[in-house]
């Protein structure tokens, strides 16, 4: 089935973690260690496989996200290699780097702190078109 639009599937997980921002001004509360509940939304784009009818089985999707969740949940983000400056911006890029090899078609990664109404989304470039 051909369509003009693009299909995208999304899987979400949550995790809780602590961090501090060394770059925050002296005396700013974010300079001190504090924690958040995070929601991670990950999108994979593509065409459904003609045999299975899916872009990616959600069980495979879940396995990839579980590995990232395990690396972040109930951790001090500043102690994780590559997250010494754990801003939302750095966090989404770090997560995308971990997921891209496991999730062909990875389209975007969003990390939300719903309790304070903040989020950051990293849009990965679409795969190059097949020269036909």
HSE toward the beta carbon, residue 116, CA cutoff 13 A: 10
**92 occurs within a structural domain:** yes
| pLDDT over threshold 80, residue 127 | no
Coil vs helix vs strand at 112? strand
**89 occurs within a structural domain:** yes
| pLDDT over threshold 70, residue 2 | no
pTM of the complete model: 0.90
Task: Find how far residue 23's CA is from the centre of its chain.
Answer: 23
- Six-digit token string for 52: 């299975």
pLDDT in tens, 56-111: 999 999 999 999 999 999 999 999 999 999 999 999 999 999 999 999 999 999 99
What total of structural domains would you count in the chain? Answer: 1
**130 occurs within a structural domain:** no
- For residue 63, the model assigns a pLDDT of 96
Give which of 78, 90, 79, 93 is closest to 124, Cα–Cα.
Answer: 93
Query: Residue 59: which domain range?
Result: 8-123
**53 occurs within a structural domain:** yes
**128 occurs within a structural domain:** no
**54 occurs within a structural domain:** yes
Yes or no: say if 43 and 108 are a contact pair by the CB < 8 Å rule.
yes
- For residue 86, the model assigns a pLDDT of 96
**38 occurs within a structural domain:** yes
Q: Output the domain CATH number for residue 62.
A: 3.30.479.10
């Amino acid at each position: 089935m051909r369509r003009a639009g693009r299909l995208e599937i999304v899987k979400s997980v949550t995790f809780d973690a602590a961090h501090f921002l060394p770059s925050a001004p002296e005396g700013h509360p974010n300079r001190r260690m504090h924690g958040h509940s995070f929601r991670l939304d990950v999108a994979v784009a593509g065409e459904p496989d003609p045999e299975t009818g899916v872009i990616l089985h959600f069980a495979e999707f879940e396995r990839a996200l579980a590995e990232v969740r395990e690396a972040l949940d109930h951790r001090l983000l500043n102690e994780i290699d590559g997250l010494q400056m754990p801003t939302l911006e750095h966090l989404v890029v770090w997560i995308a780097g971990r997921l891209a090899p496991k999730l062909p078609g990875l389209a975007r990664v969003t990390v939300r702190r719903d309790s304070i109404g903040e989020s950051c989304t990293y849009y990965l470039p679409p795969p190059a078109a097949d020269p036909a």
